[in-house]
Structure 1
Amino acid sequence: MARLPRLALAHHLHHVIHRGHNLQPIAQDDDDRRALIAALQDCAATQKVAIHAYVVMPNHLHLLATPTTQDGLSRMMQSLGRRYVAAYNQRHQRVGTLWEGRFRAAPVEASTFLLPLMRSIELNPLRAGLATEPADYPWSSAAHHLGRRRDPLISDPADFWALGNTPFERELTWRRWLEEGEAESERKRIIDAALKGWPLGSPAFLAALSELSPRPTAPRPRGRPKKAAPG
């Protein structure tokens, strides 16, 4: 079966996952991680893609992003791949690919899933045992959203601003969100949607997307279509 084209739409929220080839590390030390984030910041600004949340894990990268053009997301990720991998290979005296083929991504209904997705992304280091507090992990947007530091990569979405009238209120509310955690079923649904490229949202959201792209917005039922009963 032919691979479906990636569904990427201007002015829509997208969850992006990019994994290392054979799940190998995408960074070997903090200098690599700093270089990756700096390259992402430049590429996002050039392609006019807003980054709302991110985390650099040992062997993969999560992004929550809104492009302003149809091809902005792809152009950003292509530029990131060329720039970061070239520097990474030169620094570590290696050749060849670093990433597992093309990045995975799916549009997301912001009104329902933006905040849950931000939370899921920023809880990744805790699930992996890399930190005990989200803000203690330096390679994610959690410290920014919790008021620990100002991250120039991040463009806070309106839904985050609506969490409180002051920075203190927003940070406190977000801390409570992170402490509440997420259900495993919610996490799995979020990850599966991005890895398989299917939009995440309500039937009304999927119907609206189908008007914008000829690509299917949901997998077709397996098996042969049922025959109509004889009249």
Structure 2
Amino acid sequence: MPRQARIEVPGIPMHVTQRGVNRCAIFLDDEDRHHYRRLLREACTKHDVLVHAYVLMDNHVHLLLHAAQAGAISRAMRGIGQAYVQAFNQRHGRIGTLWQGRYKSSLVDSDAYTLRVIRYIELNPVRAAMVDLPEAHRWSSVHMHLGLRPDALMTPHALYLSLGDTPAARAHTYQAWLMSGTDDEELTRIRAHMRQEKALGHPRFQAILEKTLNRPVELKPRGRPALSKGDGGN
């Protein structure tokens, strides 16, 4: 059966994640991370894709991307993936695939959910017990959002810019938001939408997308479908 086309709509942010095959490491040292980041910047510049958040973990990456043209994110990710695997294999004397299938993606409703996804991305190293504070992880957009250092890769999202009238005010407000954390319900919701590659957002947002795309964008219920009384269920 052919794979269903990826849900990609111009102007709507996309949460992207890509993992190493069998959860193996995709970065062995900082040189690998520097190279991936360079490829990300070059591909996003070439295809007019904006990066609103990112984190490079040991065996996967999380990105929040935005493009005004359909297919731009797919083209950028394909270019990054191919170029990085070739360089990684050559540098470390290995052959074969590095990625666990194609990358996963989930559209994100800008109105209420974009900042939640940015927080989810930037708290990944804390949840993984790699660091105690998100800013202690070098390879993350959190440093720009907290006003700690500029980041040429990043384009701040409009919702982040609305947090204050000055860079200092925005950083202060965002820090409070970041440190309020992500509760279990929100974690489950974001992960489930990514796993099924569905659109994360308000039901109104999902309904508009379904009508526009003529395909379901909401989560499927887990497990086997429930049987009605006339179906012979016990």
Question: If the length of structure 2 is used for normalisation, what is the TM-score?
Answer: 0.92
Name the residue aligned to 2:141. 141
Give 1:208 shift: 1.0
Residues 1:58 and 2:54 aligned together: no
Name the residue aligned to 1:209. 209
Name the residue aligned to 2:109. 109
CA distance in 2, matches of 1:184, 1:84: 34
- Structure 2: give runs of 5+ residues left out of the alignment: none
Residues 1:48 and 2:48 aligned together: yes
Cα separation, partners in 2 of 1:216 and 1:153, compared to 1, 3 Å:
same
Partner of 1:81, secondary structure, is helix
Give 1:154 shift: 0.7
The question of whether the paired residues in 2 share the 8 Å contact of 1:5 and 1:215 is answered with no
CA distance in 2, matches of 1:128, 1:115: 20
CA distance in 2, matches of 1:75, 1:93: 27
Residues 1:92 and 2:103 aligned together: no
Figure out how many residues of one structure are paired with residues of the other and give that number. 228
The CA deviation string for residues 160-197 of structure 1, in whole angstroms up to 9 with x for no partner, is: 01111111111111111121111011012111101211
The amino acid that maps onto 1:118 is I
The amino acid that maps onto 2:196 is K
CA distance in 1, matches of 2:206, 2:2: 22
Question: If the length of structure 1 is used for normalisation, what is the TM-score?
Answer: 0.93
CA RMSD, Structure 1 to Structure 2 (Å): 1.8
**Structure with the larger RCO, 1 or 2 (CA within 8 Å, 6+ apart):** 1
Structure 1 outlier segments of 4+, above 2 Å:
1-5, 218-227
The amino acid that maps onto 2:186 is E
Give 1:220 shift: 5.4
Name the residue aligned to 1:125. 125
Name the residue aligned to 2:72. 72
CA distance in 1, matches of 2:10, 2:137: 31
Give 1:212 shift: 2.3
Name the residue aligned to 1:18. 18
Bigger mean CA offset, 208-217 vs 118-127: 208-217
